[in-house]
Structure 1
């Protein structure tokens, strides 16, 4: 498996090299864009250890408190949502699956609302625990529905996800309306934003993301074989139930980590996984690699655009991605690739 992951065809090396170069450009733009009057000259001087820049307390605050945390958060959140979507698409054999469309995000949000209102959660670990509980519930329902539907049209699973999101969203809104303090704390975060990211929070969730990533890599071979169908996979010795439990755990951790620091950001997972599958349609470990790269590029690029769009104010990146992602989803479905999804069986 490691050999196949290294031996990439020329076009995949081209995509990887081009994406990495573009990522470096976006990282620089992210560090030089946003609150404050500091641009590339000041930021580069600070990062290179210029004594004059290091002595500027305001510059240090802008970089260490505002720009660096949200840049690192974009890397972690973008990769997490992309890999979670790739796992869910593979486990459900549904090319439209992603945490936002299947109601997993809404489940994580509901879990966090319960933690805020009834247990006074304020720490990053508290957010992570309660978001994990809600995401786990959403994933259990989604994978359960997927097993019941079997080979039915993937669009049915999406419709079930929409209904699930409505239920979780309705419960969350009802609870928040009865608690104004939690509503104020929750309102901006619920739009999906990286602006409140903190270095400590990113550092706290990164080990959890790495654990989820290690589990995802371990599942790649079995999930690839399961694309032939459960019967064939079982004939090859694959324990499909155990694999789906692994997907449940990994996708729950990915989703909860992303939501605990950025809120419910939709469409990133779907778009990144779709692009990753275009680059590598078969080998799941390669799909995850390219999906993670695209997820980071999309989220980082959208976050930079959100800072520019309505200056001197800032648009929540979740709102911007909804405006961009919804038409993209419709366009992709209407094009040849997913046209069959419109025929609900």
Structure 2
């Protein structure tokens, strides 16, 4: 099977997922990152204000600073605020995971939802529910971490030999793993009514209906994953030169990729356990982050986290707006937004299997 190529080459002469993009001036990158960071409170304010019972900025401020028990205060403080914080946290996790996966695989299509990581996390959570081993959110996070790690290792093992070519086998392995695990998950939930009820609530991919403490439960896993990701991002610039060059420059390629897998597993597991599988956020974040920062992976990871948070919360707000008095779940909106971007990436880069 021919390799998945992008028609662009980096400085090393190797074809890569992001090769051919010149370095963006450091000052320009800093300004763009500051702009992304400044957009976060704006999107958060919209999330706090918009809903079936819209609140004005003054009402939002009153609810956050001097709540007096009014209906608007209760809606903003107890419903929308935890939901917004959770959306920002999960979006940052999925965005960072997408950037890491694209960097390690040198594939612009890589993201947890496309490469089986989310499916692995979802399967382990459902299996834990079926076996009565998972009864709390914290236990579901542990189960999701195991599933994400196993799926990551399986896909990596199947596609390892083609990573230097752009990873055609990676896409195939990810699709096959996702289909296999999705079939097993469906089999479990169809045979057990209790698991089905829990799965239907969780699998749609939503920020609504979650416990207000959900963000606090996943915070240690998210912070751990982001910390490992920041440390690991330093090695991506060397890995972009190729495995041989990276090794010659003193980098342990295997150790670096395993650390990257651990970070992706933690980040994906935190997001999936809290909100269910939400596809395409990592893909969107990875593409937009690289457009903002250029060829350097450390700022790309920061940008990916910010973009992921912005995309997920914006999709949640859009779901409330387009559905009128109802609500369109964020997983649905992310899929609607992500599918055209996936097609755009393929056409823009001239990808071919």
- For the criterion TM > 0.5, the same-fold answer is yes
Query: Pairwise mapping of residues 174-189 of structure 1 onto structure 2 (< 5 A)?
Result: 174-189=187-202
RMSD (Å) for aligned C-alpha atoms:
1.8
Give the superposition deviation at 1:42: 2.3
Deviations 1:65-102 (A, max 9, x none): 31011100111111101111111111112121100010
The verdict on how the C-alpha distance between 1:297 and 1:8 changes in structure 2, with shifts beyond 3 A counting, is farther
Give the superposition deviation at 1:60: 4.4
> Among residues 137, 153, 171, which one is paired with 1:158 in the alignment?
171
- The gaps in structure 2 that reach 5 residues or longer are 1-23
Which residue is equivalent to 1:55?
A: 69
Query: Pairwise mapping of residues 31-180 of structure 1 onto structure 2 (< 5 A)?
Result: 31-36=48-53, 38-49=55-66, 53-56=67-70, 58-180=71-193
Deviations 1:11-35 (A, max 9, x none): 3233223323322221111111225
- Whether contact under 8 Å (1:65, 1:198) holds in the other structure is no
The verdict on how the C-alpha distance between 1:37 and 1:276 changes in structure 2, with shifts beyond 3 A counting, is closer
Give the superposition deviation at 1:305: 0.4
Give the superposition deviation at 1:37: 5.6
Give the superposition deviation at 1:10: 3.4
Superposition TM-score, scaled by structure 2 size: 0.89
SS of 1:94 mapped into structure 2? coil
> Among residues 190, 205, 213, which one is paired with 2:226 in the alignment?
213
Give the superposition deviation at 1:105: 0.6
SS of 1:199 mapped into structure 2? coil
Alignment of 1:305 with 2:318, yes or no, is yes
CA distance, structure 2, for counterparts of residue 226 and residue 19 of structure 1: 27
- Whether contact under 8 Å (1:209, 1:257) holds in the other structure is yes
Which residue is equivalent to 2:213?
A: 200
The verdict on how the C-alpha distance between 1:68 and 1:104 changes in structure 2, with shifts beyond 3 A counting, is same
Give the superposition deviation at 1:8: 6.7
The answer to which of 140-149 and 81-90 deviates more is 140-149
Count of matched residue pairs: 330
Q: Whose relative contact order is higher, 1 or 2, with alpha carbons under 8 Å and at least 6 apart?
A: 2
Deviations 1:256-278 (A, max 9, x none): 00011111001010111111111
Which residue is equivalent to 2:43?
A: 26
- Whether contact under 8 Å (1:92, 1:146) holds in the other structure is no
Which residue is equivalent to 2:269?
A: 256
The structure with the greater share of residues assigned to helix is 1
Which residue is equivalent to 1:3?
A: none
Give the superposition deviation at 1:255: 0.3
CA distance, structure 2, for counterparts of residue 122 and residue 39 of structure 1: 39
Which residue is equivalent to 1:321?
A: 334
CA distance, structure 1, for counterparts of residue 233 and residue 192 of structure 2: 44
Give the superposition deviation at 1:153: 4.3
The answer to which of 141-150 and 82-91 deviates more is 141-150
CA distance, structure 1, for counterparts of residue 253 and residue 168 of structure 2: 23
